[in-house]
Structure 1
Amino acid sequence: MAEPVVKWVGGKRRLLPELARRLPADMRGYHEPFLGGGALFFSLRPAQSLLTDFNGELINLYRVIKICPRQLMTALEGFEFTEAEYYRMRDLDRSPGFAALSDLERAARFLYLSKTSFNGLWRVNRLGHHNGGWGKRGRVALYRPDNLMEVHEALRTARLAQAHYSHVLVMARPGDFVYFDPPYDTERGEGSVGYTTTGFSRMDQQELWQVCIKLHRMGARWMQSNADTPFIRRLYRAFRIEGIHAPRSLAGDPKGRAAAREVIVRNY
């Protein structure tokens, strides 16, 4: 089975059993508008899928893996695992020459920075510049050849696009299945930011709810992961809401990675 090639905020590897047992018995097409690490997609490998994310560098990585995985592996061999190399690569997006990089060069940079940054995460500031700090580690495995080829095979029939999540309204059809894994609501409602230049406020959560309503009315089935907050429970009260405990994996101190309350919401 293919596994995610990047660690992503809110990644779903640990929740796959919970998600898998709640999937519909059949689906015409598969859509994942907040793709991120794509754990659910890679575990299912549906024949017909549309995978989108607002992060263009992430989508570019997947396109390169889909088209030329072996060239990507070769490009990744050229990196040094030093602090100087890390910040040289990180700061490329501050220079005018960044736009001249090829898709392959951008994909290799993205994967290198994702693996060598602090906590192994991709984060950007509001100008779109990667702002993660050096992870202070030596050589790390940027990829596993067998898994990268499995990811390549999984993506061969998938359509990839950099797009806003509402794009699913244009592409989804009755009988299709949509999995939403948006930036989670927070107790104080200030929204979250990090993997794209924009945050995800409660106004965004309400707009996503409206997308879910429209999908429901057109006959598409959807499932959503989110934080278990009173706001989310009120917003989706007309649908099926189930609370679960999910292990945290992003705290700086491993001892502080306690389980968090989440919800899985479905319209079926």
Structure 2
Amino acid sequence: MTLPDLKPQRVVAPFKSQLLKWIGNKQRMAHSIANLFPGDMQAYHEVFLGSGAVLGTLAPERGYGSDVLPPLMEIWRTLSADPELVKRWYAERREGWTPETKLELYERARASFNANPNGADLLYLCRTCYGGVVRFRKGDGYMSTPCGVHSPMPADNFAARVDQWAFRTRNVQFDLMDFRQAFERAESGDVVYCDPPYTDSQTILYGAQAFNLHDLIEQIDVAKSRGVRVALSIDGTKKSGLHTVLHDFPEHLFETEVAVTVGRSMLRRFQMGGETLESEVVHDRLLLTYAE
């Protein structure tokens, strides 16, 4: 099935203003995903938060966002507690930006982050690194992504975006938390959305080396038995459908499958030196433990 084939459960409008640039984020199709969440959802949980694309688009009346990367969750928790500080973080690191100082400012923030990982530096890095490819060396956690080719957003424009996101996430609690813990607090009637590291392509990205899909499937199975509805984004096809990523899921677990066209792979473009990859079209699978 494709997204238009399913009857939307709610009406969620597109929201295209990213707060964080993040590889694999679902900002462009987040409203289509959110429209398939049950209309009687009690609380919303996003357990691999990343850029929070679906969370920010849904703007839940009661929500929880979590991830295991401390600097990332420092950004989200500060957005909730002190949006003005988030604005200052970005403005201070962008101050003095010109095409000539671009690399210097980026490398300064990256060196600062690698010396002492923190949310303020990560905020600037993910907005200015190549394609939002936030990757860390497994051995020492060194953030190694090079500077991107784009010009970073002016501080005033970013400040306005912070205000948008602070408002849309005003009913969300943010926690530094493993997905297993996050699943434990979901209750019957809640919805959990999972957008984990993809097994076929994202092993170089943060947290992916330690991620085990089998562990997640076990959590989904237990949650479903408790009346929690779960939506899972996972690898589908690549190279315009020529390569299919296969997963062995329990037959009873998912009741609905939807195909989502993500677009061309920024990760492959990064790995292949910035080429325009016309054939590298990615189609994700959206698996739902409930029927439409």
State TM-score, norm by structure 1: 0.84
Which amino acid in structure 2 is aligned with residue 124 of structure 1?
A: F
- Say if 2:265 and 2:281, in contact at 8 Å, map to a contact too: no
Q: Label 1:94 to 1:183 Cα distance change in 2 as closer, same or farther (>3 A).
A: closer
In the aligned structure 1, how far is the partner of 2:62 from the partner of 2:214? 28
Which amino acid in structure 2 is aligned with residue 57 of structure 1?
A: P
- Percent of matched pairs sharing the same residue: 23
Query: Aligned pairs, how many?
Result: 253
Q: Which moved more, 1:37-46 or 1:127-136?
A: 127-136
2:143 matches 1:130? yes
- Say if 2:29 and 2:262, in contact at 8 Å, map to a contact too: yes
Q: Label 1:150 to 1:166 Cα distance change in 2 as closer, same or farther (>3 A).
A: same
**Aligned residue for 2:224?**
216
Which amino acid in structure 1 is aligned with residue 263 of structure 2?
A: P
In the aligned structure 2, how far is the partner of 1:89 from the partner of 1:146? 22
> How far 1:215 sits from its partner (Å)?
0.4
**Aligned residue for 1:54?**
68
Residue 45 of structure 2 aligns to a residue whose secondary structure is strand
Q: Which moved more, 1:205-214 or 1:108-117?
A: 108-117
In the aligned structure 2, how far is the partner of 1:207 from the partner of 1:139? 38
In the aligned structure 1, how far is the partner of 2:195 from the partner of 2:285? 11
**Aligned residue for 2:286?**
264
- Say if 1:2 and 1:150, in contact at 8 Å, map to a contact too: no
CA deviation digits over 1:159-210, x for unaligned, max 9? 1111111112321111110000011121xxx8623123x5156xx1111100
2:195 matches 1:195? no
CA deviation digits over 1:42-65, x for unaligned, max 9? 111111111001111111011111
Q: Specify which of 173, 176, 189 is matched with residue 187 of structure 2.
A: 173
In the aligned structure 1, how far is the partner of 2:161 from the partner of 2:279? 27
Higher-helix-fraction structure: 1
After TM superposition, list the pairs within 5 Å mapping 1:18-57 onto structure 2. Answer: 18-57=32-71
2:276 matches 1:254? yes
> How far 1:236 sits from its partner (Å)?
4.6
In the aligned structure 2, how far is the partner of 1:16 from the partner of 1:94? 32
> How far 1:137 sits from its partner (Å)?
5.1
**Aligned residue for 2:154?**
141
> How far 1:262 sits from its partner (Å)?
1.7
2:141 matches 1:88? no
**Aligned residue for 1:150?**
164
In the aligned structure 2, how far is the partner of 1:117 from the partner of 1:191? 17
In the aligned structure 1, how far is the partner of 2:246 from the partner of 2:218? 15
**Aligned residue for 1:242?**
258
CA deviation digits over 1:26-51, x for unaligned, max 9? 21111000011111111111111110
In the aligned structure 2, how far is the partner of 1:122 from the partner of 1:230? 23
> How far 1:259 sits from its partner (Å)?
2.4
> How far 1:12 sits from its partner (Å)?
0.4
Where structure 2 has 5 or more consecutive residues not aligned to the other structure, the ranges are: 1-14, 237-243
Residue 78 of structure 1 aligns to a residue whose secondary structure is helix
State TM-score, norm by structure 2: 0.78
**Aligned residue for 1:107?**
119
In the aligned structure 1, how far is the partner of 2:60 from the partner of 2:31? 17
Which amino acid in structure 2 is aligned with residue 192 of structure 1?
A: T
- Say if 1:35 and 1:52, in contact at 8 Å, map to a contact too: yes
CA RMSD of aligned residues (A): 2.4
Q: Which moved more, 1:11-20 or 1:214-223?
A: 11-20
**Aligned residue for 1:183?**
197
Q: Which moved more, 1:133-142 or 1:147-156?
A: 133-142
In the aligned structure 2, how far is the partner of 1:137 from the partner of 1:160? 30
